[in-house]
Structure 1
């Protein structure tokens, strides 16, 4: 929803993106402009929580419609409002099913203000956008979100009531291929997210401050491909890079992801039991998690060694000396040796640490869940888990 109050900068981004996919109410608060494309778009913005309070003008030139000075308010939160200096709708077409199709949507100087902070975006651009019809947007049984080819937002500033939380250079995503109404491949990135650690109200943030971080510069990217005929999903890399701290890369391959499973997961998004039942049809072919240290591990070891009143080499020796006892729960001598060697090397000379699951055959999620419940120590063997350091 437009005025979601969920915490954190991710919630702010969600609020911005959802600006183009709101529920509609039967009675319109705004005066229709007479331009069918502009009015169809304004109708979607005019929701129960958000109301199109006013707009400056609607100008049409060729296949381009420009709405100036949009103001959207919320009657339940008097201090909450969204202003958009310019909204440009290009190549608009109202389809037979009532959906609004746009070649491009561009928003300039968007500002979301609320009692607990706000967010500004310099520009938002969405290509090949298809917005749901009014009836689809109102439906709670089969919610339909907007479809698009590419999305980009730039120069994002996120604030809370105490000041700056984060600045983000750019957020972008694309849907590269489709199977009917279902995306089959895509990618996304968040570039240049500068987070003020002191403004994050969480225990983790205080820990980061203690480690010497006043700000964190983070880049996030990822891509994925779903082959509905082969029922496979490939995620070659979900990358999170915190500069001067560490980077994390996650990749995996899944099987059993049929069209029915994907459709079912979409329809059961609010039903955890149905979701879990559908997930049990999926198999894990392989998975990998890699951590590359840039200084975070050294900072943690320095801090913990100081608390223990010893030098870092002594503290590391104490940790690694206790590993054999802790690893006994694995009940797998070969893996115990791998973990002991890799963790000892990583703590002694922080570089990289990689955990990989490479089973000989795909393992059903149902089998994994059952093993976790009744024999968790067998998980590394079932998934053929291995671990390496500094490679």
Structure 2
């Protein structure tokens, strides 16, 4: 027989200790406590229903000093509480909305995030993990897998971003040891205040796989890709060390300083170590769109803007290597910018890991040796790039 208890909790008022009045269900309370940090949050719940191992909440609203989050529906399945941590087989969410207000004078108006549906599996949700001042990285690790649909992020006067679906998978999620994440987003649309057809008329997808080790602060980006039809793709991979918890604590302290201490920021970043890096650009209309945009302000068409860019690059490349390197790199850039090659790849493979401080010193004192110090290589490949035809379909590779 179906067992259900329905409690209407619209009368809930904030409690200084918890930020909400207990629902008398430990699973529901643990979920609500995850949203309460300093105790300054107000939490209200429209209704609570318990059906065997499933807990359902409706009309959940968390009001913090600078943000308001509302869940229309929350369903917690297979939940239990151990040492104050909510463990659950699955949590599903109906429509949710989070709005942010900038408390500083002259700050932007309300920023809004909406999600039509969320599903979390393999949930581990400690207290305060989702509160206003929680560690944003810890908030990413609350589940083994998070699937979201119809996500929208709006910043008035800046941009509107919508994502049809996104999936976050955590292979490792121990903040004091290592975390490993894979993120995939499809059906991304971006709207900007400026008229940029190449961006607004395209549907993008993005994916990334990375691993971070807490003791060494080593971040390995196996892949980071952004792609779109009739545009092409950008891919990044590489490894950086020194991104320790102490580094992030220093950044946080610097950010809170008034005004921010730029010299301290430079000092913190200088200690980061680059092991390797690779940037790959695949052109299916991207270069033509960007050159057209850049040339508009100068009264140039895409071809003229490409030739101007090639000339400027050749001079810059002579400053970071010898004539042979500059000639090779300029030839690769020319082929890519003029549509003779569809792919441009930039690789950094230093003989040994190198700090950003050393790179900066070398750039100032002996810039012509950067090619050797960084193991810098620039190459172009693939057939002629595809450029969009007037009707929007790819033209099949006509050089500019």
Cα pair 1:188 1:222 within 8 Å, conserved:
yes
Cα pair 1:132 1:144 within 8 Å, conserved:
no
Shift of 1:356: 0.6
Determine the structure 2 residue equivalent to 1:4: none
Cα pair 2:214 2:244 within 8 Å, conserved:
no
The structure with the largest helix share of the pair is 1
Cα pair 2:111 2:154 within 8 Å, conserved:
yes
Shift of 1:383: 0.7
The separation in 1 between residues aligned to 2:299 and 2:176, in whole angstroms, is 60
Determine the structure 2 residue equivalent to 1:156: 151
Determine the structure 2 residue equivalent to 1:71: 61
1:362 maps to 2:353: yes
1:291 maps to 2:271: no
Cα pair 1:234 1:253 within 8 Å, conserved:
yes
Determine the structure 2 residue equivalent to 1:249: 235
- Structure 2 counterpart SS, 1:270: helix
Q: State the Cα deviation string for residues 361-391 of structure 1 (Å, max 9, x = none).
A: 3334442243245444432220110101124
Q: How does 1:29-44 map to 2 (within 5 A)?
A: 30-44=20-34
Shift of 1:298: 1.8
Shift of 1:59: 1.7
Determine the structure 2 residue equivalent to 1:378: 369
The separation in 1 between residues aligned to 2:298 and 2:132, in whole angstroms, is 59
Unaligned runs of 5+ in 1: 1-23, 199-205
Shift of 1:321: 4.9
Q: How does 1:236-315 map to 2 (within 5 A)?
A: 236-254=222-240, 262-272=244-254, 283-302=273-292
The separation in 2 between residues aligned to 1:345 and 1:325, in whole angstroms, is 17
Shift of 1:323: 4.9
Cα pair 2:35 2:128 within 8 Å, conserved:
no
Q: How does 1:1-391 map to 2 (within 5 A)?
A: 26-28=16-18, 30-46=20-36, 50-52=41-43, 54-73=44-63, 81-96=68-83, 98-112=84-98, 116=110, 118-133=112-127, 145=139, 147-159=142-154, 165-178=160-173, 181-198=176-193, 206=194, 209=195, 213-226=199-212, 233-254=219-240, 262-272=244-254, 283-302=273-292, 316-317=306-307, 319-321=309-311, 323-349=313-339, 351-391=342-382
Cα pair 1:25 1:138 within 8 Å, conserved:
no
- Structure 1 counterpart SS, 2:331: helix
- Structure 2 counterpart SS, 1:42: helix
Shift of 1:354: 1.0
Change in Cα spacing, 1:134 to 1:236, as seen in structure 2 (3 Å) is closer
The separation in 2 between residues aligned to 1:313 and 1:269, in whole angstroms, is 43
- Structure 1 counterpart SS, 2:94: strand
The separation in 1 between residues aligned to 2:301 and 2:113, in whole angstroms, is 45
Change in Cα spacing, 1:282 to 1:323, as seen in structure 2 (3 Å) is closer
Q: State the Cα deviation string for residues 99-143 of structure 1 (Å, max 9, x = none).
A: 3333322211113357736333121122233233359979999x9
Shift of 1:28: 4.3
Cα pair 2:36 2:130 within 8 Å, conserved:
no
Q: How many residues align?
A: 349
Please give the TM-score of this superposition, normalised by the length of structure 1.
Answer: 0.73
Determine the structure 2 residue equivalent to 1:8: none
Cα pair 1:58 1:66 within 8 Å, conserved:
yes
RMSD: 3.9
Unaligned runs of 5+ in 2: 1-13, 101-108, 255-262, 383-400
Cα pair 2:87 2:123 within 8 Å, conserved:
yes
- Structure 2 counterpart SS, 1:149: strand
The separation in 1 between residues aligned to 2:310 and 2:248, in whole angstroms, is 46
